[in-house]
Amino acid sequence: NSEDVRCKCICPPYKDHSGHIYNKNVSQKDCDCLHVVEPMPVPGPDVEAYCLRCECKYEERSSVTIKVNNVTLLA
């Protein structure tokens, strides 16, 4: 597959939980904290507050271009 897609969620520290970056291959419509953050580090009542702090972005990249650039850099 020449196209790589993923959702990247950056979640800052929350209460006694350290910050964390989550990556998952999901569709653009599912690119949100509830679909990407697994396992959820906080109990049920804190999920909404935790997710509101996370910034999730859908990313598309060409793995062929990345491989060509890496080969060029190594040459």
Residue 75 has pLDDT above 80, yes or no: no
Which residue has tokens 């679909």? 35
pLDDT, tens digit (0-9, with 9 covering 90-100), for 47-64: 999 999 999 999 987 666
Q: Is the peptide bond before 45 cis (omega within 30 degrees of 0)?
A: no
Indicate the DSSP class of residue 16.
Answer: T
Which residue has tokens 């350290």? 18
pLDDT, tens digit (0-9, with 9 covering 90-100), for 7-48: 999 999 999 999 999 999 999 999 999 999 999 999 999 999
